[in-house]
């Protein structure tokens, strides 16, 4: 009778509405988790989990971007892995040095193909 359920919470996310929403993105366009979260009324962790699952499906690709705290824009540099992020980085817009860039790093996703 004791039915153990080892399916973790994040696995139960319905990817369908996320995929539907992503249909308006063209290949190469950036997808911000906050936009997914807001539009689909998901918790942040669920939005990330859904996006991770879609990465595994090859629909989108994960990148790291750095947010400039001075001009409040993302830098025009994309990193595939955290290790690629330099310790010293300057904003190309306002020319300020961004100290501790890892603390200003956000995950973004890029559309790979039309679903
Ligand atoms: Zn800046």
Residue 18 is part of which domain span? 8-111
pLDDT at 2: 42
Any domain includes 74:
yes
For residue 72, the CA-to-ligand 1 centroid distance in Å is: 6
Any domain includes 2:
no
Any domain includes 3:
no
For residue 112, the CA-to-ligand 1 centroid distance in Å is: 28
pTM: 0.79
Q: What are phi and psi of 43, to 5 degrees?
A: -70, 155
Q: What are phi and psi of 98, to 5 degrees?
A: -100, 110
Any domain includes 91:
yes
What pLDDT, in 10s, does the model give residues 53-81? Answer: 999 999 999 999 999 999 999 999 999 99
Nearest residue to 67 via CA among 40, 37, 30, 38: 30
Any domain includes 56:
yes
Any domain includes 71:
yes
For the chain, how many structural domains are there in total?
1
The environment of the single-atom ion ligand 1, i.e. residues with CB closer than 5 A, is 68, 70-71, 91, 93-94
For residue 85, the CA-to-ligand 1 centroid distance in Å is: 16
Any domain includes 1:
no
Long-range contacts of 46-52 (CB under 8 A, 24+ apart): 46/10, 46/13, 48/107, 49/10, 49/13, 50/13, 50/15, 50/18, 51/18, 51/107, 51/109
| pLDDT > 90 in the chain, percent | 83
| Mean pLDDT, range 6-11, rounded to an integer | 50
Any domain includes 85:
yes
Tokens 């319905």, residue located: 14
For residue 67, the CA-to-ligand 1 centroid distance in Å is: 8
* Strand 60-68 versus strand 73-74 pairing type: antiparallel
């Amino acid at each position: 009778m004791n039915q153990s359920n080892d399916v973790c919470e994040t696995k139960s996310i319905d990817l369908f509405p996320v995929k539907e929403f992503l249909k308006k993105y063209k290949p190469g366009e950036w997808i911000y988790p906050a936009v997914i979260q807001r539009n689909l009324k998901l918790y942040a962790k669920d939005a990330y989990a859904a996006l991770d699952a879609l990465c595994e499906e090859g629909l989108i690709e994960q990148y790291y971007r750095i947010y400039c705290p001075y001009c409040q824009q993302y830098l025009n540099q994309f990193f595939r892995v955290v290790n690629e992020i330099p310790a010293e980085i300057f904003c190309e817009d306002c020319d300020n040095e961004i100290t501790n860039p890892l603390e200003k790093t956000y995950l973004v996703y890029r559309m790979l193909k039309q679903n």
